[in-house]
Amino acid sequence: MSHDKAQLTLPNQSPVELPIYQPTLGTDVIDINTLHNVFTYDPGFTATASCESKITFIDGEKGILLYRGYPIEQLAEQAEFLEVCYLLLHGELPTHMQKEQFNHRITIHTMVHEQISKLFQGFRRDAHPMAIMLGVVGALSAFYHDSLDIQNPQHRERAAFRLIAKMPTIAAMCYKYSIGQPFIYPQNDLNYAENFLHMMFGVPCAQEKPNAILARALDRIFTLHADHEQNASTSTVRLAGSTGANPFACISAGIAALWGPAHGGANEACLNMLREIGSVSHINDYIKRAKDKNDPFRLMGFGHRVYKNYDPRAKVMRQTCHEVLKEVGAADEPLFKLALELERIALEDEYFVERKLYPNVDFYSGITLSAIGIPSTMFTVIFALARTVGWISQWNEMIADNARIGRPRQLYTGPTQRDFVPLDQRG
C-alpha cells in the first residue's frame, strides 16, 4: 500500500511522522500504530478505521454501496442471494458450476440437530424471537464440534455453510414457537427464500408452494441486508473473533449488537412508529418531536452514520415494497402512503436537510415484511439472517489477516490513586 506521511507535533516534542495509506476507494487513513505517548480519542469511531477490508464499500456522500465492487442495485436486481453469499465469501461471482455446488452445500446443511428443537422448550412462548435466536445460535457451538477450530480453514468453511444454511431454519423455528405451531422442516427442492417462507408459513396438514413473487422479493431483501462495512454488529463480530472465540459465539455476539433500535432493531421500531403516527394529519407533530432535543423520540428508519445521501438500499426497498403490496392486493396500504408522505415532508424540512438525514434501509423494510405476513418482532431476526453472510465474510477476513486481539485504550478521568478507608471510618 503506497503512502505519504502526516506530521504530528505535540507540545515540547519533536514532530512524529505517521504513514498515510491510500485506499482503492474512499478516504485516506493515517496509521497511528506507532504512537506511544499519546492516544487518539474517537468515541463512536466516527473517524476511525478499525481494519483493512476488501469486502464492502460505502460512499456516504454519493449514496453508493458496493459488494466486492458490484453496485447493490445491480446485485439486488440481477443476482440471487446465494450468489451474493458466494461473492461476499470468495470475492468473485460464482461460475455456473460453482453456483450449483455452493447451493447444494447450503441445501444439505439447512436442517438443525434434532436436540436443538428441545432448546426452544426452555423459553416462554412470548419471548422476543431475537432473544431466542441469540441463545440458539450461540448454542450451535455445543453441537457442531467439527467447525470450532478457527485456525482450520475446513472448520471455518463448514461453520460458514452451517450458519448461512441454518439461520432461516432457526428464524422460522423462533416464529413457529411463538405462535404454538409445529416446526416445519426445510425442503431441498425449494430455493433459499422459498424454503424460508415454507418453514415460516407451512403447516403439516397442507402442502402449498410459497408465492414466487414474495419469495423473490424476500431474496432481494436478504441481498440488501447482507453486508455493510464495519457497522456496529460487524465490528462486534470482529472484536469477538479477535479473541479466538468460535464462529457461533461470534455471530451470536453480532446478533446481540444488531438488536438495538439504533441499529438493526430500527425496522421493528419504524413500523411501530408508523402505526403510532397513524395518519398523515399527525406527521407534523412527530416531525416536531424528532427535532426537539428534549424529546428522546427520533424518526426511526431515518439518518445514518455513513450515508449523508439517500441510502441506496432504501430506494430498492421502496420499489420492492410497492411490488409486494401490489402482489398481496394492498397497493393502497395506508402505512405505505403514510411512509411516503412522512418521507416527503421530512426531506423538505431544513432540520433533516441540514443534517443530511435520509431514509435508510429500515424505513420501508417493515412495511414490506409486514405485507408478506411477517410480524414486526421477526423483522430484526430476518435482518440477522441476511447479515450472517456479511458477519462471516468479515470474520474470515479478520482471521486470514491474523488480526491481533482488539483492545481499545481510553481517556481516564476518574479519581487519582487514593488509600482504602475502613468501614468504621466512613461515617
- The catalytic residue positions are 304, 362
In the block, residue with C-alpha cell 440481477: 78
Establish if 104 lies at the interface with ligand SDX (CB under 6 A). Answer: no
C-alpha cell at 369: 415484511
Binder among 68, 176, 238, 304 for ligand SDX (CB under 6 A): 304
Nearer to ligand SDX, 173 or 256 (CB): 256
Are the CB atoms for 88 and 389 separated by under 8 Å?
yes
Give the single-character DSSP code of 415: P
Q: Which residues contact 278 (CB under 8 A, 6 or more apart)?
A: 338
Distance CA 144, CA 189 (A): 25
Nearer to ligand SDX, 169 or 235 (CB): 235
Radius of gyration over every alpha carbon of the chain, rounded to an integer in angstroms:
23
C-alpha cell at 298: 427520533
Establish if 289 lies at the interface with ligand SDX (CB under 6 A). Answer: no
Q: Tell me which residues in 205-244 interact with ligand SDX (CB under 6 A).
A: 228, 231
Establish if 55 lies at the interface with ligand SDX (CB under 6 A). Answer: no
Contact string (CB under 6 A) for ligand SDX, positions 358-397, x = contact? --xxx-----------------------------------
Distance CA 402, CA 242 (A): 9
Closest C-alpha to 313, from 76, 95, 96? 76
Shortest distance, position 205 Cβ to ligand SDX, whole Å = 39
Tell me the residue nearest to ligand SDX as measured from the CB. 303
Binding piece for ligand SDX, criterion CB under 6 A, among 21-29, 68-76, 118-126, 294-302: 294-302
Give the single-character DSSP code of 30: E
Establish if 109 lies at the interface with ligand SDX (CB under 6 A). Answer: no
CA 214 from centre of chain: 21
Shortest distance, position 204 Cβ to ligand SDX, whole Å = 36
C-alpha cell at 29: 487513513
Binding piece for ligand SDX, criterion CB under 6 A, among 17-25, 199-207, 257-265, 406-414: 257-265
Which residues of this protein are in contact with ligand SDX, per CB under 6 A? 228, 231, 262-264, 266, 290, 298-306, 355, 357, 360-362
